[in-house]
Amino acid sequence: MQDDKKIVGYLPDERPPVWKLILYALQQVIVMFPATVAVAIITGFHISTTIFASGLATLCFILVTGRKIPLYYGSSFSYVTAIGSLMALEELSGYSLDDKIAMAQFGIVMSGFVSIIAGLIVKQFGKESIEKVLPAHITGPIAMVIGLTLAGTAIEDSQSIFRGVDEQGDAVLAAGNNAQSMALVVGLITLIATILFSVYLKGIWGQLPLILGPMVGCLAAFIIYLTADVNLFKIVPAAIQDNGLFALPNITFPKPNMRAVVAIMPIALATIPESTAHIYQLDIYVKDLARKKNSEKKYDLASKLGLNLIGDGIGDIVAGAIGGPAGTNYGENISAMAITRVFSVHVLVVAALISMIIACFTPLISIIYAIPAAVIGGLEIYLFGAIAAQGVAIMVEKKVDMFSAKNIAVMACIMVIGLGGNYGFGGTGNIPFFGLDIPCVATAAIFGILLNLVLSIGDWVKKRKVQETVENA
């Protein structure tokens, strides 16, 4: 039996010492920051408000779930197309940015109720009710698709020379000989450093690879700037620089708009399988750590699926109420927890508070924003790959029958539709259907669910006949 003193890691109800707590929390912030900021930039939402909303929504999520589930709420890419298309409507061209955001907020708030209703159904009928709809041979491939559809983003970012935009809105690229190759070098250095720190460092240092790796990457970028005159650090937008030392987020309030409801609310259905996959991933890793630490306490996060979905919905309502995009619990942060074995809820609380402080403290936003895209890309290769690997872990843990014709059919369709939809159709991540652009992950999930239900009819009929035979005997 392993000596629990040799096991480094923290379970959900365990609290690290203060100095470790802050470092672990900063790591979680660094992990969520790129995607959350990217969603704000793509949708046109205010960056500081988006960051503040992610922290506030995370706090509300943790409170609603009784401080039992260590998950971070961040802005979701699943909603990007729906929000972007709404705000780009010609009929809204005469409205101000804040008015457009306010209209989108109404759809975001309403989408929260979809997750809440799903969570209440699970709580009423048990997680078995949703496992019939979302078994491991669906949630596992969905998790894999989520990770693998982001693979292109990770590789592109790892060799990106994009630094921002100028006053005219034109892209500013890193100049100099072999700039893109230099960016790739920075990305690879970040990736390799993060992996080496994760595998070989022990104790507290072994739990901080997602801070130490980017620090090495930024150092490499700085050396390249000094020696090769290639500047990969991003330009901080004037909108951030002009805010002075301290500035409150730009808060806007929802305005009722039915177009926003129709465009945004249905996307919440796509985040339910994603959120389900995430809680199952987390459950596997927490149980593994508890077993290695010989913990007498039982951790069954999968049984809290209903509560998790309710918390997700509350997060959407809170974020939407103050001007943040719709979101979900972040797979990147789960990967960070799995890599570092730090699942403490206390860490997520501090991470949420730090995010809210960063949102109000301009220099901190500027520092994190300026991190080269190549550094983030190197980190993304590791994190996104870990998300995909966790999908495999779900299927192994749940002992999915890989020789079942039904299971293979469902998994094959989810994988190909999800990945093919992402890389086809111009690489938009959306599948055109009767004039609509449907997110590929949502399409793959819904198709997989429906196909599994149809193929399961025969099994249900057989079980019913057997049951009737037993009852009549």
- Predicted confidence band at 249 (pLDDT cuts at 50, 70, 90)? confident
**Residue with more model confidence, 124 or 43:** 124
Q: How far apart are CA 367 and CA 389, in angstroms?
A: 31
Q: Do the Cβ atoms of 406 and 456 come closer than 8 Å? A: yes
The residues pairing with 73 across neighbouring beta strands, listed in sequence order, are: 329
Q: How far apart are CA 18 and CA 21, in angstroms?
A: 5
Lowest mean pLDDT among 10-14, 108-112, 141-145, 365-369: 365-369
Burial 86-119 (b: 16+ CB within 10 A, else e): bbeeeebeeeeeeebbbbbbbbbbbbbebbbebb
In the prediction, which pLDDT does 3 show? 47
Name the helix (H) or strand (E) containing 163: strand 162-165
Rounded average pLDDT over 270-285:
82
Q: Which of the 8 DSSP states describes residue 425?
A: G
Rg for the chain, CA atoms, rounded: 22
CA atoms within 13 A on the CB side of 412: 8
Q: How far apart are CA 281 and CA 308, in angstroms?
A: 13
Closest-CA residue to 134 (of 378, 312, 309): 309
Give the model confidence (pLDDT) of 314-325 as tens digits: 999 999 999 999
Give how far the C-alpha of residue 34 lies from the chain's centroid of Cα atoms, to the nearest Å.
Answer: 11
Q: How far apart are CA 309 and CA 303, in angstroms?
A: 12
- Predicted confidence band at 311 (pLDDT cuts at 50, 70, 90)? very high
Rounded average pLDDT over 9-17:
92
- CA dihedral 63→66→67→72, nearest 10 degrees, is -60
Give the model confidence (pLDDT) of 19-35 as tens digits: 999 999 998 998 887 77
Residues with Cβ < 8 Å from 457, sequence gap 6 or more?
none
In the prediction, which pLDDT does 171 show? 84
Q: Do the Cβ atoms of 188 and 158 come closer than 8 Å? A: yes
Highest mean pLDDT out of 232-246, 263-277, 333-347: 333-347
Residue with tokens 């057997």: 466
Q: Do the Cβ atoms of 393 and 281 come closer than 8 Å? A: yes
